[in-house]
Structures are given as C-alpha cells and as structure tokens.
Amino acid sequence: MKDRISRANLRATRSSILGSYLNRAAQKSFFASLRISIRFAADEMGGDGKMGFARVCAVALFCSLILMSNFCGSCAYGLEDNQTAVLLVNASSHSGMRISDTLFGVFFEEINHAGAGGLWAELVSNRGFEAGGPNTPSNIDPWSIIGNDSTVFVTTDRTSCFERNKVALRMEVLCDNVGSIICPEGGVGIYNPGYWGMNIEDGKEYKIILHVRTAAEMKLSVSLTSTDGSQTLASSIITTAERDISNWTKVELLFTAKGSNAQSRLQLTTSNKGIIWLDQISVMPVDTYKGHGFRKELFALVADLKPRFLRFPGGCFVEGEWLRNAFRWKETLVPWEERSGHFGDVWMYWTDEGLGYYEFLQLAEDLGASPVWVVNNGVSHNDQVATPNILAFVQDTLDSIEFARGSPNSTWGSRRTAMGHPEPFELKYVAVGNEDCGKKNYLGNYLKFYYAIKAAYPDIKIITNCDGSSTPLDHPADMYDFHIYTSSNNLFSMSKQFDHTCRSGPKAFVSEYAVTGSDAGKGSLLAALGEAGFLIGLERNSDVVEMASYAPLFVNVNDRRWNPDAIVFNSWQQYGTPSYWVQQIFKESSGAIYYPSTIQADSSGSLISSAILWENLEENIKIIKIKIVNFGSNPVNFKISITGLQGTINSSQSSITVLTSSNVMDENSFDVPNKVFPVENFLPNAGTEMNIVISPHSLTSINLPLGPTTYISAI
C-alpha cells in the first residue's frame, strides 16, 4: 500500500502544477499543446541555438495556454451539461447499523467442472474407469488407445481389487519387441488427457499412483508427455523383474517435470507381449494449497474475496434429476481409490468424488468461512420420497452433522478423526433442499428435518427453500432461501426487494443471484453493474438479509453449462469476470457499520449508493467506504457531504477505485483478463466535502481512511 500511495502522491504533485481541476483529458491536451508550443518557440525564436531555455519554456507555456483556452471552455461546458447530484452521508454514531458478519460469501456447486478438473487438483479424468458404468465392456472415455487393432486390445472387466469400484482396465498387448508382430517405437498402451489437457510445469513435482497386475514379464513405461506424445516431461519404468505385481499392487512414483506443457497427458506404454490390468490411476501436483488438494491459483481467487461462508455442494447437484444420482456424502468418506463416484445427471458429467464432504469442510476452514451444508431432503427434479418414508434421509443428515461436529469418540466424529481432523468443524448452517419449495412432499419432509435437527443441535440455523421476503412463512425456519436470475435492469431495480420485508422473523439467505440472459454475455460490465446495485440494496437491508452469494462460482471454458460465472479457467489460466470484481469491491461489507446515504438529483433512477465503516485489522485503521453505481449512460457531478463523522479523514491515503469500461458489453478473457478491472488512484482533496465526477456505467468506491481521533479536555 505504501508503494501505491507514493506513486499516487507523485501523480497528484504532477497534476497540481497544472491546476487541481484539470481532468485527465484536459491534462493530456495540455501536455500535447505544450509539446507543440515548445517546437514552435524553438523553431521561430531559437533557430540559431542562441535563445535561452527559460525563454523557450516561457513562450511555450504562453502559447500552450492560448491553445488550451478553447479546450478548457469546452470542458467547463461539458461539466455544466453533466447531471448533477448531491450525496449526503450521515456518519453519526447513532445512525450506524451493524451489517451481518456473514453477509457476503461464496457458493460452490459441482457445475461447469468447477471441482472435477477445476478446484480439485487431480489431473486424471475417470481415474478408476467407472465413468462408463458398472457393466462391462464399458466406455473408457477420455482414455484413448496408443496402437492399433493388430498390436493391442483394450477392454474393461470387473476384476478390480476395490469392492466398491469393481471395474478395471484390461490391456492385452499383441505385439512384442521380438517375433512376428513387432511393437511400434515407444510401445503401445493408453493415455489420459486429463480435463482438456494437464498443465505440467517445469521443475514442479507430481505424485503418480496406479494399481497394476500382470503375470507376464513386462516393462511398463509411465510418462507425462505432450499432447501428441513427442515431448517427454517425466518418465519412469515399472518392471516385473524388480517387483512382483502378479497380484494387484499399488505403485507410487514422484516425478519432477523437465519442461512445461499446458496440454500434457499421462501415458502408460509397453513393448512386451502379455496381459496387464490397470485401475485407480492418479496424477496430483504436490504443490496444492496446504497439501489439501486444492489448485492454488483457483483457491487464491476465492480466498481474495474473503468469503464469510461457503455454501456447498449445490445447487441442483444436491438433488439430481433422479435421487439415484444425487450427491451421497457417506460415499466420499473412504480413501479416494474406494470412492465410487457418480454421474451428475443435472450437469451431465461424471465426478470421481475426490472433492467430497470432508474436503468441502476443509475448504471452508481453509477459507476462514462458515460451512453451509445443503442436504438432500428426499426430493429430486423427478422423484420424491414420501414424508412417512423420510426418516432414513433425516438420520443421514444427523450423521453428517455428527461427522462435522461430533467428538472424536462419537460414531461419525471418529471417522472424521481417522481422516486427519480430530477437532470439530464449525458447522452452524444447514439448508434443507434446494429450490424444492412447492413440490408435493417438500414441506412435510422439511418439518421432519427441522424438528430432528433442532432437537439434537438447537444452535444450528436451518434454512428453508420457501421465500419469506414478501409474505410470512407458514413454517418454522431460521432463514429462507432466495434465488434470483434476471436481466441487469431488473436486478438493478431489485435493490429495493427487501425494503418492505417484515423486520422480524427469519432472515433472507440470497444464496444464488446473478444477471443472466442476453445482456450478461459470458460476464459483461453491464451484468456486473446490475449486480452491484442489487448488493447495495442488500447492504441497506442487512437487518433482514443475513447472507448472499453469487452463482455459479467457477466455469471451465471447455464445459460451459451456465453463463455467466465469476471465475473462468482452463488447465493453466484463470481470470475473474466483472461480476467477480464487483464482489471484490463489496468484500469489506460483512460485519461493517452501514451509514445511511441519500442521493438528491433531478433523476436518480440510475444511481444508487451506500456508505460503510469497516476496520482494516492488518493495518489497524478504520475506513469509510462510499460506493456509487451509475447505471446510466451519462457522467454525474457529485457533491459529497459527510456529516457526524467521529474522527478525521486522512486525505493523504484516500483513494478512489472505479470499475468501468468503454462498452457496457465488454468482457474479460484469457487474452485480456483485465479489460474490465477496478482501477485505483489517489484521491486528492479528500474530506467530508468533495466534488467527484462519476463515470457513466460504473461502480465507484471512495475509500477514506480515518486518522486517529484527537480528544481535547477542558481545563
């Protein structure tokens, strides 16, 4: 921050020479005029080289001021034409309202390959050959064969050593390095491209695990190679001469990459005739967040939002199109080789379930966020459990809570302890179902869950799927779920959604919100501004809104199931959409003090503002943060007045951050990841009275650190 302030002070000093009120365009024009005038003065008055430098500068300055006169006149005219507005902020101690400590968080759903091939760092797709189903022969996609019909025959059978995952790959090598059928150079075998390419980086370590069985004399080459196999980044040979693998054997290898390739693959090849079985094959980078298996770059983007909660694992992923394909948490508590995985029939792809219930709880802990566990209440998109038959599902949820919170000596707490986490996780929120309100059996099932959970864990806050923002709920709940996907105009206008909500009773959990449709694109500035206006409304109503999260959080560009999303990635790149950067600007709101602010303007329908006081604990300072969304297409001259402030504004460290772009439909991309990006600059003349021009189609954040309060005692 000190470097940023120093650079900002330098810019401010330079600008002050020209006058405090020249805008950026005026300064640019002034310097251009000055350059022209210097050339003119030097050519006309100092062509013989005898004219003094000071005289050249004086003449040049005089000429440039003449050239600028017309431009400055147009600047003044433009400012007069701008819409004007007054923003009044009441920062008195009695006017402040405490915002919910958990107002803004994140929602993770296994959609768009957010986990499998995303946040979960496993590089092998379909590592256990189970994605093709339990019947054999089966589809081994995305595994592919190296060789042809005359050299190798690959199929699947049910001979795995893992009882929960019986499918294994059987490879019969028909060629050899001697005899009538000679293997091609490099051998025959199989390869796995991962999730649209494995990102292998030079010098980094990768842990490879595979399970293998063969009675033949064989050398099996395990390699990380380029997409066509021509470049070998790391390799090792497993030979039957050195180890007995006549029975299923777990082989562990540690590779150090000697080269980089973002489109790498894992390949297993041999030039020895015989039959070999393979199963449960994994490639994991050693360098994951805290060794917990999370891809560090994606984890960092989420952590930078400072989320106060993590809602997981869905979403529709929790329900399934059919209950037989719903997420089953107990299936994920075993070692990864024994996790059965399942086909997510809502978003239509297989997950090996490396990212399971335990890992979600660990993720929340690593983020410093409260876990919000969304449980299946016996309802999917197409089938439902009748209320008289729901008790098994209720008990399943009680078991999941005991796993998270139970003592190490409890039945399920001991399972958590065995997985390496003896201390309980801080699970305080349980959402019963997802978007199930109105379905035939939901309310009856919900009540069974509610009373059973409250009897065992009275402190847990239970979230219903039924909306209570307009009319009171007809059943008990601590919070109610509110989802909204709409156009940018609609969402911006919904900043008043909770203005008239009953101030007592259950609070809102806006667990899914986003601008969607034609004006959202794949993540436009326009969408982000609509969302920013909505979030300001949530701040203002934080007495009745306890939590809010954007959806979806992640998308792998190779499998877009939903547009837009907050974070976009592939095997080796990632960036935040404008919606992500809006969340960055709002991240300090949780637990802050909200101050009332009023905009006075002839037409204020496209303007909305908020003011908060938050504490930067790292630097031990308090900061007034004023946010203004200009949803309109014209700049606005704001006169900002702050009254009742306890303390003084440190103008030397004040700043202004603006999120905008030249076109409302601008998006970020891998080529230009920061096309729409918050730009921070020093704010000169910061104080309780300020004049600031707010750009059209922008989110502006004015950051005013407070200096130490000075108390003067009467003598």
Q: Which amino acids are annotated catalytic? A: 435
Residue pair 248/213 in contact (Cβ under 8 Å)? The answer is yes
Classify 370 in phi/psi space as left (phi over 0), alpha (psi -120 to 50) or beta: beta
Q: What's the one-letter identity of residue 55?
A: R
Q: What is the rounded CA–CA span in Å between residue 223 and residue 226?
A: 10
- Nearest C-alpha neighbor of 276 from the set 253, 252, 315, 247: 247
HSE-up (13 A, CA, CB side) for residue 18:
21
The secondary element (H helix, E strand) that includes residue 362 is: helix 357-367
Q: Which residue has the tokens 């805008």?
A: 23
Burial (0-12, 13-18, 19+ Cβ within 10 Å), 24: exposed
Annotate 539-605 with DSSP letters as a single string.
Answer: HHTTTTEEEEEES--EEEGGG--SS--SEEE-SS-EEE-HHHHHHHHHTT-TT-EEE-EEEEES--T
Q: Provide the 3-class DSSP secondary structure of residue 368.
A: coil
Residue 469 to residue 615: CA distance in whole angstroms = 31
Count other Cβ atoms within 10 Å, centred on residue 72.
Answer: 16
Whether the CB-CB separation of 181 and 157 falls below 8 Å is answered with: no
Q: How far apart are CA 186 and CA 392, in angstroms?
A: 54
Alpha carbon of 534 to those of 274, 305, 485, 487: distances in Å? 65, 18, 12, 12
Residue 546 Cα distances to 16, 241, 463, 511, angstroms: 45, 64, 11, 10
| Assigned token pair, 528 | 């982000």
100-134 burial, b for 16+ CB within 10 Å, e for fewer? bebbbbbbbbbbbbbbbbbbbbbbbbbbbbbbbee
